[in-house]
Amino acid sequence: MDLIDRYKEVRQRTEKICFYLQTEDYVVQPVVDVSPPKWHIGHVTWFFETFILKPYFMGYQEYNPDYNYVFNSYYETVGTRVIRTDRGNLSRPTVVEIYSYRKYVDEAMEGFLSGGVSNDVKELLILGFNHEEQHQELLMTDIKFILGHNPLFPAYNKNYAAPHIDEGVNDAFVSMNEGIYEIGFTGDGFCFDNELNRHKVYLNAYQISPKLVTNAEYLEFINSGGYHDFRHWHAEGWDWVKTNKVEAPLYWHLIDNEWHNYTYHGLEPLHLKGPVTHISYFEAYAYASWKGLRLPTEFEWEAAASKFNWGRRWEWTESSYLPYPGFAKAPGAIGEYNGKFMVNQKVLRGASEVTPPGHSRATYRNFFQTNLRWQFTGIRLAK
Ligand SMILES: [Fe+2]
């Protein structure tokens, strides 16, 4: 696919996600981690304008110089910005104005790309595509949080269907031999800087489940008092449970003694066979501990990834998000993309039902803080 087609496809996919929103849905920021949809659609546009059009397209006229302040996410190199918690207080620019901004940048990008681009620009462009895909997933999870925390529990899209991934019928743990394994990206395609350098790790023999933990299995943990037994939890996790009075995964509601779950279809009775989701690392760890098992490390996950069908949930691992040997940040603002977040976060592997198709791979490293659960997170056990 040529670059213009790929550009158009990525940009249109973002707008398709927003097709189901009403104007008011675009604006709110219920918690710090959930950005208003209108901020996302402006920010991904700003990314192409800032990193491609302004430096590389001769004669490009910036759409509105004030937008840098509004749509810069975390790039210190690119200047000051509205603080993250205040994204929901921006009634202006309006949703209509932000769509005009998108259109303006799209037209400029198509003009720019039609002239052919250097390899350096091509690399930035592909980073821009992957960046927008990451925000497509965030849009899906942020929209779910916004609608799922509305007391009316409105549906996002009654026809929403998760992609079908068959985990198979065999639930016997996969045995992996001890030995040296190669970890990290290899090949010619795109990868993020945090997947490099490819390097060797030594793994002891281990076993890993070919299946994700289901809602029914997780319910056993709840019903046996798992949230009330400190023995299964890290100290920090136990504080988190008590402070936030956590009793179940996010979006679970006990109504007339029956568990319900908010989904893109609205509030529904809990689907017991589905993979448990919207759990924090603390909960994933506690569940594994209650089972007498553990979470895999990210290296164990990657070494075994070809032996099971992953992709339904981002899977919490027991690994801290750290640089691989030889990791190097790119010069300038792009160097701020991943490296500066390598502290106090855990790695998640796989992909989720709202990850754009083709976005992830076996070496992909997602990462979040241990208490967060608004992403489609899940549990795969190891021993
Ligand atoms: Fe971003």
Q: What is the pLDDT of residues 24-76, one digit of tens each?
A: 999 999 999 999 999 999 999 999 999 999 999 999 999 999 999 999 988 88
Same domain for 185 and 117:
no
Is the preceding peptide bond at 197 cis, omega within 30 degrees of 0? yes
Q: What are phi and psi of 37, to 5 degrees?
A: -50, -35
Q: Ligand 1: distance of its center to the CA of 75 in Å?
A: 9
SS in 3 state form for the chain? Answer: CCHHHHHHHHHHHHHHHHCCCCHHHHCCCCCCCCCCHHHHHHHHHHHHHHHHHHHHCCCCCCCCCCHHHHHCCCCHHHCCCCCHHHHHHCCCCCHHHHHHHHHHHHHHHHHHHHCCCCHHHHHHHHHHHHHHHHHHHHHHHHHHHHHHCCCCCCCCCCCCCCCCCCCCCCCCCEEECCEEEEECCCCCCCCCHHHCCCEEEEECCEEEEEEECEHHHHHHHHHCCHHHCHHHCCHHHHHHHHHHCCCCCCCEEEECCEEEEEECCEEEECCCCCECCCCCHHHHHHHHHHCCCECCCHHHHHHHHHHCCCCCCEEEEEEECCCCCCCCCCCCHHHHCCHHHCCCCEEEEECCCCCCCCCCCCCCCEEECCCCCCCCEECEEEC
What is the phi/psi pair of residue 194, to 5°? -75, -5
CA–CA dist 221, 229 (Å, integer): 10
284: domain CATH number?
A: 3.90.1580.10
CATH of the domain at 16: 1.20.120
pLDDT of residue 294: 98
Whole-number pLDDT of residue 348? 98
Distance from Cα 43 to the centre of ligand 1, integer Å: 7
Could you read off the pLDDT of 321-362 as tens digits, one per residue?
999 999 998 888 888 888 899 999 999 999 999 999 999 999
What is the distance in A from the centroid of ligand 1 to the CA of 134?
Answer: 8
* Separation of CA 34 and ligand 1 centre (Å): 13
Contact 296, 269 (CB under 8 A): no
In a domain, 165, yes or no: no
Q: What confidence category does residue 84 fall into, taking pLDDT thresholds of 50, 70 and 90?
A: confident
pLDDT at position 226 is 98
Q: How many angstroms separate the CA atoms of 126 and 133, rounded?
A: 11
Mean pLDDT of the 205-226 span: 98
For residues 214, 220, 223, 225, the Cα torsion angle rounded to the nearest 10 degrees is: -110
CA of residue 334 to ligand 1 center, whole Å: 11
Q: Taking residues 245-259, what's their average pLDDT?
A: 98
Is there a single domain that holds both residue 118 and residue 236? no
Residue 130 Cα to ligand 1 midpoint, Å, equals 10
Let me know if residue 167 belongs to a domain. Answer: no
**Are 200 and 57 contained in the same domain?**
no
Among the listed ranges 113-117, 295-299, 314-318, which one has the minimum average pLDDT value? 113-117
143 with 200, same domain? no
* 163 lies in some domain: no
Among 134, 149, 164, identify where a domain stops. 149
Domains of the chain: total:
2
**Is residue 243 located within the same domain as residue 298?**
yes
Would you say residue 122 has pLDDT above 80?
yes
- Two tokens at 300? 């164990």
Quote the ligand 1 centre to 261 CA distance (angstroms).
Answer: 29
Are residue 214 and residue 84 in the same domain, yes or no? no
Q: What spacing in Å lies between the alpha carbon of 131 and ligand 1's midpoint?
A: 6
CB 351 within 8 A of CB 360: yes
- Asked if 73 and 106 sit in the same domain, the reply is yes
- Beta-carbon neighbour count of residue 277 at 10 Å? 25
| Predicted local distance difference test score (pLDDT) of residue 224 | 98
168 domain-assigned = no
- Mean of the per-residue pLDDT values of the chain: 96
Same domain, 124 and 227: no
Is the omega angle on the peptide bond into residue 296 within 30 degrees of 0, that is, cis? no
- The answer to whether residue 1 scores a pLDDT higher than 80 is no
How far is the centre of ligand 1, averaged over its atoms, from the C-alpha of 216 (Å)? 35
**Can you give the pLDDT at residue 78?**
87
Q: Which of 90, 116, 149 is the last residue of a domain?
A: 149
Report if pTM > 0.95. yes
What distance in angstroms lies between residue 273's CA and the mean position of ligand 1's atoms?
34
Residue 184 has pLDDT above 90, yes or no: yes
40 CA distance to ligand 1 middle (Å)? 8
**Ligand 1: centre distance to CA 372 (Å):** 18
Residues 289 and 236 in one domain: yes
Same domain flag for 80 and 197: no
Tens digits of residue pLDDT in 150-167: 999 999 999 999 999 999
Domain of 142, in residue numbers: 3-149
Question: How far, in Å, is the centroid of ligand 1 from the Cα of 135?
Answer: 7
Whether 159 maps to a domain, the answer reads no
- Ligand 1: centre distance to CA 83 (Å): 14
* Model confidence pLDDT, tens digit, residues 272-294: 999 999 999 999 999 999 999 99
156, part of any domain:
no
- One domain, residues 211 and 359: yes
pLDDT given at position 156 = 98
CA-CA distances (angstroms) from residue 19 to 47, 74, 110, 310?
A: 22, 27, 23, 28
Q: Do 193 and 124 sit in the same domain of this protein?
A: no
In the numeric block, which tokens belong to residue 101? 């901004």
In a domain, 157, yes or no: no
For ligand 1, the distance from its centroid to the CA atom of residue 291, given in whole angstroms, is 37
Task: Assign 171 a pLDDT band (cuts: 50, 70, 90).
Answer: very high
Q: Give the Å distance between the CA of 297 and the centre of ligand 1.
A: 27
Contact predicate 101/42, CB 8 Å: yes
End-of-domain residue from the set 109, 132, 149:
149
Q: 50 CA distance to ligand 1 centroid (A)?
A: 12
Q: Is 24 left (phi over 0), alpha (psi -120 to 50) or beta?
A: alpha
* 176, β-bridge pairs: 206
Q: How remote is the CA of residue 146 from the centroid of ligand 1, in Å?
A: 19
The pLDDT score that the predictor gives to residue 85 is 85
Question: Would you say residue 290 lies in a domain?
Answer: yes
- Give distance in angstroms: CA of 158 to centre of ligand 1: 28
Buried b (16+ CB within 10 A) or exposed e, 4-29: eeebeebbeebeebbebbeeebbbbb
Ligand 1 centroid, distance to 283 Cα (angstroms): 27
